[in-house]
Amino acid sequence: MKPWIMGLMALLASLQFSLANAESMPFTQAAFDRLMAEGKPVLVEVHADWCSTCRKQAPITQSLLSQNEFSALTALRVDYDKQKEVLKALDVRKQSTLIVFKSGKEVGRSIAETSPAGIESLIRRGL
């Protein structure tokens, strides 16, 4: 295979990774536990489809996560209405809660934050 084709394929693969990272993955306990054990930076988004604040937060977090400087961070989305055991384990009482973990420990939390600067400041704590 020609070198420029291999380079193009590598570029496309990295773009695909960046775009995939820009969206939150559904929260699973196994994924969360693995990321915590590895000490990876994690953003947990507690989301409800009916929540207007959650709908305001989503494009902000997606935009931030699509930036290279936040590419190491993994976002996991908790369904507020369906994952009650996770809410209890994370001591979450309200939808639109954002929690940041770094090196296996919680380093920041906000509830109902919709300011891009506020959300960015929170997410930066995980880096």
pLDDT tens digits, 45-59: 999 999 999 999 999
Dump pLDDT digits (tens) for 25-75.
Answer: 999 999 999 999 999 999 999 999 999 999 999 999 999 999 999 999 999
Burial of 54 (0-12, 13-18, 19+ CB in 10 A): buried
Residue 38 CA from chain centroid, whole number: 16
Question: In the chain, what are the domain boundaries?
Answer: 3-124
Average pLDDT, the chain: 87
| Residue 12: band (very low, low, confident or very high) from pLDDT cuts 50, 70, 90 | very low
pTM to 2 decimal places: 0.81
pLDDT exceeds cutoff 60 at 120: yes
What one-character-per-residue DSSP string does the chain give?
Answer: --HHHHHHHHHHHHHHHHHHHTSPEEP-HHHHHHHHHHT--EEEEEE-TT-HHHHHHHHHHHHHHTSGGGTT-EEEEEETTT-HHHHHHTT--SSSEEEEEETTEEEEEEES---HHHHHHHHHTT-
* CATH code, 3-124: 3.40.30.10
| Residue 95: band (very low, low, confident or very high) from pLDDT cuts 50, 70, 90 | very high
pLDDT exceeds cutoff 50 at 6: no
pLDDT, residue 24, reads 84
Spatial CB neighbours of 42, under 8 Å, sequence gap ≥ 6 = 32, 35, 36, 73, 74, 75, 76, 100, 101, 126
pLDDT, residue 32, reads 96
Position with higher pLDDT, 11 vs 23: 23
With contact defined as beta carbons under 8 Å apart, do 79 and 91 qualify?
Answer: no
pLDDT, residue 58, reads 94
